Amino acid sequence: MSRFVSGNRVELLRAGTEYFPALEAACDAAQHEIYLETYIFEDDATGQRIGAALARAARRGVIVYVMIDGFGSKDLGDDFVLALREAGIRVLVYRPQISPWTLRRERLRRLHRKVVVVDARIAFVGGINIIDDMHTPRQVPPRFDYAVRIEGPLLAPIHASVVNLWTLVMWTQFRRRGPLNKIPVQHAPSGSRRGAFVVRDNLRHRNDIERAYLEAIGNASVEVVIANAYFFPGKSFRRALASAAARGVRVVLLLQGRVEYVLLHYASRALYRFFLDAGVEIYEYHRSFLHAKVAVIDDRWSTVGSSNIDPMSLLLAREANVLIDDAAFARELKTSLNDAMALGAERVDAATWKHQSLTARIMTWVCYGLVRFMTGWSSYGRAREFR
């Protein structure tokens, strides 16, 4: 069960156009400490902008901790990292060993969460990396994604999570040096929204995000709307959605329409027939690249975070989502998703889907088989869920 706490201010941020100015402003107002965790930190205009804000904070005495993933940020140049360190920023690389020549399964366990905590008072959680929204080639509108800005009692578990992860990675890299200072968490009530912070790790919280989804879907009585960039759910998740549709719940999936990663794109399409036959509505987003990992259920329960519904996120990567139990927030997020579907998505027609070309069907099932094989090879104990 997810532990919800009341009294939070939770603000929805749409794409980098809203997220990066809010993040930069928070960094410029910081007085004590900043923790930033991200999968991708790119040396582009956006990365330089956020890097400069972090450097300004460090130079005025704020202790700044930046953790990047060894694979996601593998293209971040040494000069950029050196400049951050010379400004006084402490930089850690999560699992820096990414050699393609090793067959160790652990190399696929990545830091995929995107979390920032400023002065133990403000937190940002979502799916947005530190990268230009227009980075992807052939993209005109910005990448479609979300984050939330949080104040209130939820800061306690979020702050504890970033401190614990920093300490853990320091120890695993034999540095044996945790955070330099401990400041009190500002967790006084700041709003009226109930929320919970859920993570996925490889210890006590291996299934928390998936369980939160399954519980909410299982309790749904009116509507389930899920927007997810890489959608390749396991058996339990597929059955939960089909069961919801069978009992009269409207189930809507907003998925990636453009091809970004060929393997996952076509593998996820192997599941379309199952969902369409179950009465699930599928919309493919084509206007730009969809990177969102959000959901709204029964106009009340919402989630925003970094976790895709695929084997990498649900079995391997470190992820972080926020659950929000608030009708007004759900309405705002759902309106944004409805606008995206109306302006930039196409509904997949069940009848047309059944008459795909032989080439398309072969491509789909070859990719599906490869993803199943990779899931079984790289995970422990639960790979059968994704078959």
> What pLDDT sits at residue 371?
66
Token pair 């329960």: residue:
301
Closest to 161 in 3D by CA, of 125, 210, 110: 125
pLDDT tens, 286-316? 999 999 999 999 999 999 999 999 877 777 8
Q: Which of 114, 135, 159, 334 is catalytic?
A: 114
298: annotated active-site residue: yes
The answer on 344 and 258 residing in a single domain is yes
Asked if 17 and 145 touch (Cβ cutoff 8 Å), the reply is no
Can you read off the two tokens belonging to residue 100? 């393609």
Joined together, the tokens standing for residue 240 give 């939960």
Tokens encoding 356: 């795909």
Do residues 140 and 249 both lie within one domain? no
Residue 354 annotated in active site: no
User: How far, in whole angstroms, is CA 378 from its chain's centroid?
Assistant: 20
| From 28, 32, 205, 298, the catalytic residue | 298
Final residue in a domain of this structure, among 193, 226, 247: 193
**Which pLDDT does position 382 carry in this prediction?**
53
**Same domain, yes or no, for 160 and 201?**
no
- How many structural domains are present in the chain? 2
pLDDT of 384 strictly over 60: no
Amino acid at 70: G
pLDDT in tens, 71-128: 999 999 999 999 999 999 999 999 987 655 554 555 567 999 999 999 999 999 999 9
pLDDT of 137 > 50? The answer is: yes
CA dist 199 and 143 (Å) reads 24
**Residue 98: its pLDDT value, please?**
63
Q: In this structure, are 53 and 114 located in the same domain?
A: yes
Return the SS3 of 225: strand
Last residue of a domain, one of 166, 193, 220: 193
| Residues 276 and 180 both lie in one domain | no
Task: Tell me if 105 sits within 8 A of 383, measured CB to CB.
Answer: no
Residue 351 domain boundaries: 197-386
Lowest-pLDDT choice from 89-93, 109-113, 198-202, 381-385: 381-385
Domain shared by 215 and 138, yes or no: no
The active-site residue, picked from 135, 159, 187, 291, is: 291
Rank 100-104, 259-263, 342-346 by mean pLDDT and report only the highest: 342-346
Question: Do 68 and 94 contact (CB within 8 A), yes or no?
Answer: yes
Give yes or no: 349 in active site: no
Residue type, 26: A
Q: What is the pTM of this model?
A: 0.91
Mark whether 369 and 265 lie in a shared domain.
yes
Catalytic residue chosen out of the listed positions 43, 69, 119, 310: 119
Tell me what pLDDT residue 103 has.
46
Looking at residue 352, its pLDDT comes to 78
The answer to whether residue 114 is catalytic is yes
Q: Tell me the mean pLDDT in the region 255-278.
A: 80
- CATH code for the domain in which residue 186 is found: 3.30.870.10
Catalytic residue among 159, 187, 265, 293: 293
In angstroms, the CA 94 to CA 86 distance is: 20
My answer on whether 218 and 181 are in the same domain is no
pLDDT-above-90 percentage for the chain? 67
From the list 43, 112, 135, 326, the catalytic residue is 112
Does residue 29 register a pLDDT over 70?
yes
Cα(170)–Cα(172) distance, rounded to whole angstroms? Answer: 6
Q: Quote the CA–CA distance of 199 and 145 in Å, as a whole number.
A: 19
User: In three state form, how does the secondary structure of 138-174 look?
Assistant: CCCCCCECEEEEEECCCHHHHHHHHHHHHHHHHHHCC
Q: pLDDT tier at 357 (50, 70, 90 boundaries)?
A: confident
Reduced DSSP (H G I as helix, E B as strand, rest coil) percent helix, strand, coil of the chain, to 5: 40, 25, 35
Quote the pLDDT of residue 366: 73
The whole-angstrom separation of Cα 66 and Cα 83 is 13
Residues 376 and 240 in one domain: yes
Q: Is the model's pLDDT at 377 over the cut of 60?
A: no
Between residues 258 and 126, the one the model is more confident about: 126
In this prediction, residue 318 has a pLDDT band, given cuts at 50, 70 and 90, of very high
Q: Say if residue 275's pLDDT is above 80.
A: yes
Q: Are residues 140 and 216 in the same domain?
A: no
Same domain, 170 and 268: no
Known catalytic membership, residue 112: yes
Spatial distance between the Cα atoms of 269 and 267, rounded to a whole number of angstroms? 5
Which phi and psi angles does 264 have, rounded to 5°? -70, -35
Q: Are residues 154 and 175 in the same domain?
A: yes
pLDDT single digits (tens) 209-227: 999 999 999 999 999 999 9
| Residue 350 pLDDT | 85
Distance CA 375, CA 387 (A): 9
- Residue 265 among the catalytic residues: no
Asked which of 163, 193, 223 is the last residue of a domain, the reply is 193
